[in-house]
Amino acid sequence: MELVQDAVLLRIFLGEDKMHGDKPLYEAIALKAREAKMAGATVIHGILGFGHSTRLHTARVLMSEDLPVIVEIIDSEEKIDAFLKLLDGVPDIGLVTLDKVKTLGRRPASAEAQKG
């Protein structure tokens, strides 16, 4: 049985070369989301993009640096709001967007097995 729920999709845009301590920033954000028990996170590696500087970052150029990366995190509005507070003051985050979404998902296998 499919479940439909309201949620918020958080997108964090940054460059792949940005670091947070000894880890890439995108990895540090995804691990922090996991630690915060967010419903899900995905890191998407772009092949071309530009930001406010309009400097083009592309995978077409050999040894290109700073390709675009998007970290997507989805959860309830309350959990997303709390997670955003954890990102306050983190440098090198470019753009952050929020979208209200409806999620379609299946019950976890363990819940289906218990019904059955």
Provide the CATH number for the domain around residue 24: 3.30.70.120
Which pLDDT band, with edges at 50, 70 and 90, does 2 fall under? confident
- Report the chain's C-alpha Rg in angstroms: 17
- pLDDT of 62 higher than 90: no
Residue 114 predicted with pLDDT over 60: no
111 within domain boundaries: no
113 within some domain: no
- pTM for this predicted structure: 0.83
Has residue 116 been placed in a domain? no
112 is a domain residue: no
User: Is 1 in contact with 107 (CB distance < 8 Å)?
Assistant: yes
Rounded distance between C-alpha atoms, residue 116 and residue 98, angstroms: 38
State pLDDT tens for residues 6-50.
999 999 999 999 999 999 999 999 999 999 999 999 999 998 888
Asked if residue 17 belongs to a domain, the reply is yes
Q: Among 48, 44, 69, which Cα is nearest to 57's?
A: 48
Decide: 33 and 107 in contact? Cβ < 8 Å: no
Band (pLDDT 50/70/90 cuts) for residue 59 is confident
Give the number of other Cβ atoms within 10 Å of residue 68's Cβ: 20
Domain count, the chain: 1
What's the pLDDT at 47?
87
Domain hosting 91: range is 2-106
The average confidence (pLDDT) of the chain is: 88
In a domain, 42, yes or no: yes
pLDDT for residue 56: 78
What is d(CA 84, CA 39) in angstroms, rounded to the nearest whole number?
A: 15
C-alpha 90/C-alpha 106 separation (Å) is: 35
